[in-house]
Structure 1
Amino acid sequence: MKTSEPLLFLQGFLKNPKRVGSVLPSSKSLAQKIVQSVRWDEIRTIAELGPGTGAITRLIRAQLPKSATVFLFERDPKMRSNLKKTYPEFMFHSNASYLLKRINQEHVHQLDSIICGLPFFNFSREMRHNILSQIHTALRPGGTLVLYQYSLHMKKQLAELFEMEKIQFVPFSFPPVFVYICRKKEEEGHGETSELGET
């Protein structure tokens, strides 16, 4: 019998709360807000970091232009396995710390957009810096980062790397969540970043 999405998410949280970051999947209102923040007519390559049970992923697929390439990075093995069955056409990886390496292996060097729900608050400063640096390098100039977090703790760090277009508060989500909509500056090109080993 297939495990329900809320139960699967709760199991993942109880097993590793620092990596899952919440006891429930993203709400419908949050998922819709995030997907509405992406300029879908510009999308040829996109990555979702921390898709969980796929609350946002299903809306991504509904909006996706034909022939677009999608990368999903999910650490929880059960959630990743479930996602693979539902979205066999997408590319799957386990560790967002290897974002650049994994997309380059598929001969993709820049992404048009990244949707990220990783619980950065629970990460070490080094891991947070590493993943954000790779996100910044992976995005093409003018590309968008849509990041959702349960506090404003990422505001300063994101503002140092990106143009902050807006921060939206989504109260009808449990817990309430902030959606950061950021854009990589148009004149920026490739940067260098270091990789951390898998943990």
Structure 2
Amino acid sequence: MPGVTGLRKAFAERFDDEMRFFKGWLHRPKAVGSIIPTSSVTARKMATVIDPSSGLPVLELGPGTGVITKAILERGVRPQDLHTVEYAPEFVTHLRRTFPDVDVIHGDAFNLNETLRDMPGTMFDSVISGVPLLNFPVATRVRYVEDLLDRLPLGRPIVQLTYGPKSPVPPGRGSYSVEHFRFVLRNIPPTQLWIYRRRKPN
């Protein structure tokens, strides 16, 4: 039966993704925030902040197995307009095989001047971040957001997922605003989504 075969294939692919993610977590627990991938529900919520008609590329950080990458493409972003930065080499290999037309960059999201050295001065429509910020000091998280906002037009968002109850980047530490976007129960563990934007000058 075609329906049963398709269902089995979907379950097998999901299982493969979860095992790949779990192995990545075992090897690099600080770089991988959870032992299983982000849910498709969370991924679709994150992708809604993108404006596909802006004419600007999108930057994704910490894509893991590509659940959010898939949602970004389904949002209407052309593969050649998506630049995704992944630190773990095993995930990079998987992403390049799964999304051959996406610009998958092996690099450090905390050092984008080096990681994006081949595209200096590029402005992005938005940033979709799955980097586990709670694994890093607060000062590092603030620098991370400030650097990203320098790469966005005024008012355009960074959307960040986290498994903690509060924003991983506290307000009042820089020239950015903090907005709670969504609480997603259909994720393991349940996920909070936060949005950061550059504050408009007074």
Task: Give 1:170's aligned amino acid.
Answer: V
Unpaired runs of 5+ residues, structure 2, are 1-12
Q: Hey, what does 2:76 align to over in structure 1?
A: 64
CA contact (8 A) 2:145 2:196 kept: no
Partner amino acid, structure 2, of 1:70 = L
- 2:198 matched residue in structure 1: 184
1:15-72: CA deviation from partner (whole Å, max 9, x where unpaired): 1111101001001111111112322222521111100000010111122344862211
Q: Which residue of 2 aligns with 1:118?
A: 131
1:27 aligned residue:
39
Identity %: 26
Q: In structure 2, what is the equivalent of residue 193 of structure 1?
A: none
What is the rounded CA distance, in whole Å, between the counterparts of 1:79 and 1:31 in structure 2? Answer: 17
CA RMSD of aligned residues (A): 2.5
> What is the 5 A alignment of 1:12-161?
12-66=24-78, 69-91=81-103, 92-151=105-164, 152-157=166-171, 160-161=174-175
Could you tell which deviates more after superposition, 10-19 or 153-162?
Answer: 153-162
CA contact (8 A) 2:123 2:152 kept: yes
Superposition deviation, residue 120 in structure 1:
0.8
Shift of 1:168: 1.2
- Return the letter of the residue paired with 2:151: A
Rate the CA distance shift 1:135–1:17 in 2: closer, same or farther, 3 A: same
Deviations 1:98-124 (A, max 9, x none): 223443522443211000011111113
Q: Which amino acid aligns with 1:163?
A: S
Residue in structure 2 matched with residue 196 of structure 1 by the alignment:
none
With the length of structure 2 as denominator, give the TM-score of the two structures: 0.81
Would you say the 8 A contact 2:141–2:169 is kept in 1?
A: no
How many angstroms apart in 2 are the aligned matches of 1:117 and 1:130? 16
One-letter amino acid of the counterpart of residue 143, structure 2: N
Deviation by residue 1:159-189 (Cα, 9 ceiling, x = unmatched): 743233443111111001100123334559x
Q: Which runs of 5+ in 1 are unaligned?
A: 189-199
How far, CA to CA, are the matches of 2:135 and 2:196 in structure 1? 21
Aligned-pair distance for 1:136?
A: 1.9
Going from structure 1 to structure 2, the CA distance change for 1:43 and 1:159 (only over 3 Å counts) comes to: farther
Quote the Cα distance in structure 1 between the aligned partners of 2:197 and 2:124. Answer: 12
Aligned length: 187
